[in-house]
Amino acid sequence: MPISPPPVPGRAATHRRAWCASLAPLCALASLLLTGSSPFGEVSAARMLLSSSSAPQPRGTLHEEILRLLDSPESLPREADWAPLGPEALSSLLGLASDPKAPEPQRSRAIAAMAVVAHPEAAQRLQEFLRSPASPSSMRAAATLALGRRAGLEAIPLLLPLLSDPSEQVRATAAQTLGRVGGAAVRKVLEERLPLEESLAVREAIQQGLSYIEP
């Protein structure tokens, strides 16, 4: 019998898979920021344990240490990692995040680190990235996650408007972040937003956000 060729996926399905693939790195970042868990599984966790138990390496300049933390796949944005660098680290992170020549993943990780850097103005700087139309969607999404982790309940009024943001990536990230923050008011807003959202991927993110909130 002749073998029939596999069905060609529709345009909508192809677009959705491409969108989900582009969101995958951000989902990993969301796992790091919101839960503190590693999305790389037990093997990575074991490597982290071995790394943390080895002899400490001599540190270079502040900028070199920041680059090391940002480029290390085992480096989570934790206060224990960033507190020794002091508040001066924020200026370097802002410089990296604002540098259009820097790799976009590195810029997003710099924004993610602002969730735990020891500087009282970090939350304000994250808000500036959220409001900047020049910031790529991936960076604004990273700022959404970081602000949710840093400010907690105080971030809710700042994150709610993002549910109607022009960027699907930002809307989806805002829905998941708000769900992690939680609360009856957030549940009500997400439930009201769900039937209004046209993007299937964002609706799934809203449903995931709702699943984080206890009834």
Specify if 170 maps to a domain.
yes
> To 10 degrees, what angle do helices 200-212 and 168-181 make?
10
Q: Check which CATH number belongs to the domain holding 191 and give it.
A: 1.25.10.10
Q: Which of 175, 116, 117, 188 is nearest to 144 (CA)?
A: 175
Please state the three-class secondary structure of 23-85 as a single string. Answer: HHHHHHHHHHHHHCCCCCHHHHHHHHHHHHHCCCCCCCCHHHHHHHHHHCCCCCCCHHHHHHH
Specify if 78 maps to a domain.
yes
Specify if 40 maps to a domain.
no
Report pLDDT digits (tens) over 72-104: 765 567 888 888 999 999 999 999 999 999 999
Count the domains in the chain.
1
Specify if 34 maps to a domain.
no
Question: How far is 145 from 202, CA to CA, in rounded Å?
Answer: 16
The reported pLDDT for the residue numbered 74 is 54
Q: What is the value of pTM for the model shown?
A: 0.71
Share of the chain above pLDDT 90, in %: 57
Domain coverage including residue 163 = 62-212
Specify if 200 maps to a domain.
yes
Specify if 11 maps to a domain.
no
Specify if 81 maps to a domain.
yes
The reported pLDDT for the residue numbered 134 is 82
Q: How many alpha carbons lie under 13 Å from residue 69 in its C-beta half-sphere?
A: 30
Segment 200-207 mean pLDDT: 96
Report pLDDT digits (tens) over 14-66: 434 444 444 444 444 444 444 433 332 322 322 322 233 333 334 569 989 99
Average pLDDT, the chain: 77
CB 144 within 8 A of CB 178: no
Position 148 pLDDT exceeds 50: yes
Specify if 136 maps to a domain.
yes
CB 120 within 8 A of CB 130: no
